[in-house]
């Protein structure tokens, strides 16, 4: 015997496709009730009617309604109801997706990246611009102070004095104002990036506590976004986590046979970037393996890592460093 059901009714068929038992949804066919039913069905669960029939005939096999020949067609009003409800259900699900940390993290990470890039590009433009008028200025040494200095001072005389150099060129007041406007924009862009970064770190700490503890929230967030979500990151092998963020060199390795990358995003961790080149590969390998464990802890409801686990990993980093140094 077979059980088939949709949002309107449930039926039991015998071996010869004859209806043995039937249960029709008797409730008020309101939009909200129908949406609820569609949601239940979408998750693969039984409706009330199907459950009633299952209780009456415990030994029945569920089959899809599309394999039943004479399943009752939708009436025009039912068709309209289904269309309305599927629209509402899709809307609800899109709204639910907006509260998912994976999607939110993706936007935060991209926004931080973009605003940092913009701020840097504007700054290098500004430094070159100011440097043209102040030839005696050492723009490499004082690079970081120039934007702030431009903001603080009102004209080029003052700026030159502030930066301890002479002004010999004549600067058009309009251009001077333009330079000032740009410096304000850079400061604004930097503070924007900081605000976004703080939000990103906060979310990463709650979404990926162990991974954030291990690698810091920024790297954890980047890894999660590169892997297209936490659940996928948790299913990746450590070797892939190690080179996430190094896709360019990884695919050039596969296609052209160049050297494989040793590290992707995790390179930004000081354990790797501050280590001598010869050790980086080993540390990256170990750290990626630990990161794989950490993210699985986060994804599958393990206890978040604390200082104890961090200290253990740090000890291992120390062991690799001393072992490599002895050689």
Partner 1 sequence: MERFALEKGEGDSLQFFSDRVRIEGRSLWSRNALKGVSLRGERLKREGRKEWRQWNPRTSKIAAGLLKSKQESLLPESGGTCLYLGSGHGTTISHLHDHVCGAKNHLGGTIIAVDISPRCIRDVIRLSSSRPGILPVLADCRDLESVSPFLNSKVPWIFQDVSQSNQVELFIKTCERFLSNGGTALLSLKSASERESSGAFAHAENTLTEAGFTLVERIDLAGWEEKHMLFHVVK
Give min distance, CB of 260 to partner 1, in A. 20
| Cβ distance to partner 1 smaller for residue 64 or 237 | 64
The verdict on 257 binding partner 1 (CB under 8 A) reads no
| Cβ distance to partner 1 smaller for residue 42 or 248 | 42
Give min distance, CB of 269 to partner 1, in A. 31
Write the DSSP string, 155-182. Answer: SHHHHHHHTT----S---HHHHHHHHHH
Per rule CB under 8 A, count of chain residues that contact partner 1? 26
**Near partner 1 in 10-69, by CB under 8 A:** 38, 41-44, 64-67
With CA atoms as reference, report the closest residue to 219 among 272, 162, 280, 149: 272
Write the DSSP string, 232-292. Answer: HHHHS-HHHHHHTT-HHHHHHHHHH--PPPS-SGGGGSHHHHTS-HHHHHHHHHHHHHHHH
| Cβ distance to partner 1 smaller for residue 97 or 311 | 97
Task: Identify any residues that bridge with 91 across adjacent strands, giving them in sequence order.
Answer: none
**Near partner 1 in 193-212, by CB under 8 A:** none
| Cβ distance to partner 1 smaller for residue 67 or 194 | 67
**Cα–Cα dist 5/51, whole Å:** 10
The verdict on 254 binding partner 1 (CB under 8 A) reads no
**Near partner 1 in 72-131, by CB under 8 A:** 73-74, 79, 82-83, 86-87, 90-91, 93-94, 97-98, 103
Which class for 205: exposed (0-12), middle (13-18), buried (19 or more C-beta within 10 A)? middle
| Cβ distance to partner 1 smaller for residue 97 or 181 | 97
CA 44 to chain centre: 28
Q: Look at residue 52 and give its three-state secondary structure.
A: helix
The verdict on 237 binding partner 1 (CB under 8 A) reads no
Residues lying near partner 1 in the complex (CB under 8 A): 6-7, 38, 41-44, 64-67, 71, 73-74, 79, 82-83, 86-87, 90-91, 93-94, 97-98, 103
């Amino acid at each position: 015997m077979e059980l088939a059901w949709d949002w309107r009714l449930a039926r039991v068929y015998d071996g010869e496709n004859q209806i043995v038992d039937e249960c029709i949804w008797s409730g008020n066919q309101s939009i909200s009730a129908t949406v609820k039913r569609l949601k239940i069905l979408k998750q693969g669960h039984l409706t009330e009617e199907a459950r009633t029939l299952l209780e009456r005939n415990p030994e029945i096999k569920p089959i899809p309604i599309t394999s039943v020949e004479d399943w009752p067609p939708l009436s025009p009003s039912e068709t309209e109801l289904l269309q309305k409800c599927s629209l509402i259900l899709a809307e609800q699900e899109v709204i639910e997706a907006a509260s998912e940390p994976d999607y939110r993290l993706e936007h935060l990470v991209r926004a931080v990246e973009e605003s940092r890039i913009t701020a840097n590009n504007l700054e290098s433009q500004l430094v070159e611009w100011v440097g043209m008028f102040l030839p005696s200025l050492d723009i490499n040494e004082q690079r970081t102070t120039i934007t702030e200095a431009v903001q603080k001072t009102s004209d080029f005389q003052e700026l030159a004095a502030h930066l301890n150099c002479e002004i010999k060129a004549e600067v058009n007041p309009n251009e001077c104002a333009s330079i000032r406007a740009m410096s304000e924009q850079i400061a604004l862009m930097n503070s924007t990036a900081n605000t976004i970064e703080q939000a990103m770190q906060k979310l990463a700490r709650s979404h990926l506590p162990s991974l954030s503890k291990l690698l810091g929230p920024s790297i954890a967030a980047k890894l999660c976004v590169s892997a297209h979500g936490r659940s996928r990151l948790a299913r990746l092998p450590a070797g892939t986590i190690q080179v996430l963020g190094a896709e360019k060199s990884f695919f050039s390795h596969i296609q052209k046979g160049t050297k494989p990358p040793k590290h992707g995003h995790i390179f930004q961790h000081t354990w790797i970037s501050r280590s001598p080149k010869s050790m980086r590969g080993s540390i990256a390998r170990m750290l990626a393996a630990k990161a794989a464990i950490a993210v699985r802890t986060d994804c599958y409801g393990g206890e978040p890592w604390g200082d104890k686990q961090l200290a253990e990993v740090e000890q291992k980093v120390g062991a690799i460093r001393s072992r490599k140094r002895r050689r």
